[in-house]
Each structure stands twice: as C-alpha cells, then as structure tokens.
Amino acid sequence: MEFERYGEKKLLDEFDPITLEQMNEVALMNRTDTKFVVSRKTFNEILPILKEGYRSLEIAGTRMSGYSTQYFDTEKFDFYLDHHNERSLRFKVRIRKYIGSDLCFLEVKRKFKGRTDKKRIRVDDFEKVLSSGSKEYIDAVIGKEYGLESKMWNSFDRITLVNKVEKERLTLDLNLGFQDGDNVQSFPHIVIAELKQEKVNRKSLFYELMKKNLVRPNGFSKYCVGTAKLNPGLKANNFKPKLLLIDKLKN
C-alpha cells in the first residue's frame, strides 16, 4: 500500500495509542472544522513532531483505517452547487463504510455559518438506490424531501490523532481516490488534514506546524473536488484554486 511506500506506518508506531472507546470522549459531533491540504512530503516531515502532542487511534492492531464512501445528490447536483455557490446552509449525504470493521453508516452533514452538525444511523451496506427507511431518515434530518441518487464513490486511508490535553481530534486522509463507473481520479501525493475542535484554537500544535510550513487553512470538500474532477461539464469556477493546488503539490 501507499503508506508503506511513504513510511507512515513506521512513524505511527512511535505514537502513544488510544482506543476507540477512549476517543469517544472526544466525539465532537458538533464542532468547528479547519482543513488543510498538505503535500505528502511535508506531512512526513511533521508526523514525527506530532507524537509530542497527540495519541494515535488504534483499532484491531492497526493505526491506519480504510474508508469507502458513497455520495448522494439530486439529479442536477443541488448539494454540490450549494457548496460551490457558498450558501451558508448546505447539506451532504453519504453512506460511509469502515473497511476494517465492515460497519456502514448513513450520514447527513449540515453546515451552517461555519459549524458542522453530523447525524448518522447504522445501515447494512451501500445502497444503489436509497431504501425507504434511508429516505425517511434523510428527509427528517434535512426537513425537506429530496430525490437523491448515487453520484460518486471515494476511498482513502485515514489516520486519527487525538490531542493529549485539549478536546481536539485530527484526521489525516491519504491515498485519496474518486470513481464514477470507469472514470477514476486519484491523488496519492496529497494529504487532507482536518482539525476538529469545539472552537478554533490557533495555538494547537498542528495549527502551529501548518503556519511554520506556510500551509494556510483551505476548505476541501472531497465530494465537491471529486465531483468537479469526474464531471468537467459542471460549474466549478470556485473550486479551480483547489484543483490547481492539487496539481501544484505534485512538484
């Protein structure tokens, strides 16, 4: 796998571990999210420093977990366009599978004025067509009925770090890939970092390391970036800086 080639597995073994049960105390279902797009090279330079302030989530002996996600949107990509047009209230609907445990959740994320609220329920598996129960749940959370359809799949490997002192989690997503039928896009050269906090704390160790490496916060929606890459005919002007940054970080 890519993380073995880049050496993250060996570096992660040096972190103090934390169990899933212990991490649940820092669930942060209602939170502020600050995202960064980092080159794989920079990420590997700062990873050894992070062990000073974070513990690494370990599940069944592994510290890097595989995720697979199915995204839903309307026929005309209304959720995607709401994000592109920077509406203050927007939604994201997905089914996410945790590969190691084979658990699946239907998740509805509501973002309003910079805060993220996520609600989810267990489901048996991915749904090519949403079941009646899934539709009812989505409509109840959103407060409006949408005709949603499966639009895209993505996959990635995630490292989860938990601050030793503060109520803060840091997810680091590697080996990002998108797929819609035979159309495939992959970005093994970047890492998507997401700092999850009750409120923004710029004195966080990770935040400080980002500033030191001149990496600015950069909103990055996997769904929107993947959709723009897989559907070049869609409106994507506001995502062009992110698409250019992905290309720039290859060098």
Percent over 70 (pLDDT), the chain: 96
Average pLDDT, the chain: 91
The model's pLDDT over 155-184, given as tens digits with 9 standing for 90+, comes to 999 999 999 988 899 999 999 999 999 999
Mean pLDDT over 142-155 rounds to 95
CATH of domain 2-248: 2.40.320.10
Query: Which residues lie closer than 8 Å to 23 by C-beta, 6 or more apart?
Result: 57, 160, 162, 169
Among all chains, which residue has been given the structure tokens 């890459």? 229
In which element (H, E) is residue 237 found?
Answer: none
CA distances (Å), origin 198, targets 29, 53, 72, 117 = 9, 18, 28, 12
Decide if 224 contacts 16 (C-beta within 8 A).
no
5-14, 58-67, 129-138, 207-216, range with the lowest pLDDT: 5-14
Mean pLDDT over 136-147 rounds to 94
Domains of the chain, by residue range, sit at 2-248
The model's pLDDT over 1-36, given as tens digits with 9 standing for 90+, comes to 454 556 788 899 999 999 988 888 766 666 788 999
pLDDT of residue 5: 52
The model's pLDDT over 192-214, given as tens digits with 9 standing for 90+, comes to 999 988 888 888 999 999 999 99
pLDDT of residue 30: 66
Decide if 62 contacts 95 (C-beta within 8 A).
no
Q: Residue 86 forms beta bridges with which residues? A: none
Residue predicted with more confidence, 243 or 100: 243
pLDDT of residue 181: 92
Q: DSSP code of 62?
A: B
pLDDT of residue 1: 44
pLDDT category, 235, cuts 50, 70, 90?
very high
119-123, 145-149, 165-169, range with the lowest pLDDT: 165-169
Percent over 90 (pLDDT), the chain: 76
Mean pLDDT over 43-51 rounds to 95
